[in-house]
Every structure is written in C-alpha cells, then in structure tokens.
Amino acid sequence: MRSIRVLEKPLRKVVLFAVVICLTTFAAAKPLYFYTGDFDPNNPNANGLANENDAIVNGNPYGAAVYQNFFVTGGGITVTGLFSNDLMSLNPSTAYWEIRSGVSEGNGGTLIASGTAADEVTATGRSDFGYTEYTNVVSGLNVHLAAGQYWFTVVPDDLNTAGRSFMSNTFGLNQIGTYDANLQFFNSTFFGANFTNANNEGLFPGFSGGVYAGVTTTPEPSSLIMLGTGLLGVAGVIRRKLM
C-alpha cells in the first residue's frame, strides 16, 4: 500500500521559510492597500463603463474616465501605484491617472495629483461582452494622503487603436478596504458627462480597481494561486444581449 510521506522537520522548516519569504517579497513588491473587488462575468448585472483614451473615444486628458472612491484611515498612506481592471481591445503603453478629493455630482472636487505613466498591462483571466479584461497599473508614484475619502482613475491610453475600454463593475468579490458603494463618478466631454454619478449610466455600485501604498498586506487570492502553481458602437456602456 502506498503511503504519504511527511517531510522531515528540518526540511519542513526550510519549505515554510521559503514560502514566508516568497509571500513577504510579493507583499513588499505589490503592497495592496485597497481593492474594490473582482469583476464577476457570471453575475447577471456584470457590466462596464467607458474608461479610455483611444482613436474612437478621445480627449484631453482623456476621452472618458471612471472615478472610484476609497477611504484612507489612521495616520495616512503614501500611494505608490494605482490600477483599473478594464474590458478592452486596446494595446496601451501609457495610462493617465488622477487622485481627487471632494468629488460630488457635477463637481470634480480638488485635484490632488495626476500624471501619465507607463501602463503595466496584465490579463486577469476574465472576459465578457467579447472583450478580455486586463489590469492597467501605473507605479512609481509618491503621493501622501491623510485620512479621508478620495477618488482615483486610471485611464488606458492608446490613440493608435480604434478599440474600446470599459472599466469593469464589481459587487465586492475579494474586496480589500472600504469605499462608499454607489458613489462612483463618470466624466467625459465626449459623452457629455460632467462628473455624473455612474449609476446614471447603469448599475455600478463599484468599479474593479485598487491602490498600492506603503503598507504590507496579504496578496490577492488569484496571486496566491499563481504562486502555488508556479466595437459595440460608440456607446458608453456595454450591455449584455438578451437571449
């Protein structure tokens, strides 16, 4: 009869130490402070809202942008990176980003920091509406935020492609941190929207994206798995076809 062998104690300690080092290194490289949650293609209310600057929907500094809120607690944080998860058919090399405070209906509030940075693009493994979802990350930031409520946007930039990009909505799957649901905003001169509540465009309690900051946190479940195993027209909203 075959039996399961238990690692000898010294070897078990080495393996455990290696795992701890790997997780610690990952956390240090990608210190996730806030994450709204995963896009869920199986949710009947799954959707996306235009978040793009491309050959079809463009402007200065973007064609359309989604603003997701989040809370900073305690003594504040230093933001080192931001990201958005977008259903898109673009090939961006840069992304435009902003952090704002005091945003409300028809009011962009106060712009705290903004810029254009290299876009680190990675497929999430999710897709819907004929689009593949990608994570668009801007890193190398150094923005200190005191305790309070803020809004951020990360807009993929690809003016050479007649494609589209829609920031995925989320209902909190694998959420980290806190935010005000149903208090996200959409801004686009192209679509005639002036910091309007995103729910005026559809069902958008939150958008899939996040904030990296100078703190250590647990990696996302999908990242742990990786570690363990080695044109719908010029519309602002993508909608599911009725069968």
Burial class (CB in 10 A: 0-12, 13-18, 19+), 91: middle
Establish if 47 belongs to a structural domain.
Answer: yes
Amino acid sitting at position 67: Y
Residues forming a β-bridge with 54 = 158
Query: Do 162 and 223 have their domain in common?
Result: no
Query: Do 205 and 224 have their domain in common?
Result: no
Amino acid sitting at position 122: T
Query: Do 142 and 42 have their domain in common?
Result: yes
Q: Judge contact between 65 and 191, C-beta under 8 A.
A: no
Query: Do 76 and 26 have their domain in common?
Result: no
* Domain limits for position 24: 7-30+219-229
Establish if 13 belongs to a structural domain.
Answer: yes
How many Å apart are CA 86 and CA 71, to the nearest integer? 22
Q: Judge contact between 220 and 174, C-beta under 8 A.
A: yes
Query: Do 66 and 132 have their domain in common?
Result: yes
pTM equals: 0.80
Angle separating helix axes 9-29 and 221-228, nearest 10 degrees = 130
Establish if 125 belongs to a structural domain.
Answer: yes
Q: For residue range 79-132, what is the model confidence (pLDDT) as tens digits?
A: 999 999 999 999 999 999 999 999 999 999 999 999 999 999 999 999 999 999
Amino acid sitting at position 181: A
Backbone phi, then psi, for 23, in 5-degree steps?
A: -65, -40
Query: Do 12 and 40 have their domain in common?
Result: no
Query: Do 117 and 166 have their domain in common?
Result: yes
Establish if 243 belongs to a structural domain.
Answer: no
pLDDT at 19: 38
Sorting pLDDT into bands at 50, 70 and 90, what band is 41? very high
The answer, yes or no, to whether residue 13 has pLDDT greater than 50, is: no
Query: Do 18 and 123 have their domain in common?
Result: no
Q: For residue range 183-228, what is the model confidence (pLDDT) as tens digits?
A: 999 999 999 999 999 999 999 999 999 999 985 334 455 544 444 4
Domain count along the chain: 2
3-state helix, strand, coil in the chain (%, to 5): 15, 45, 40
Query: Do 24 and 43 have their domain in common?
Result: no
Minimal CA–CA distance to 222: which of 53, 17, 32? Answer: 32
Establish if 193 belongs to a structural domain.
Answer: yes
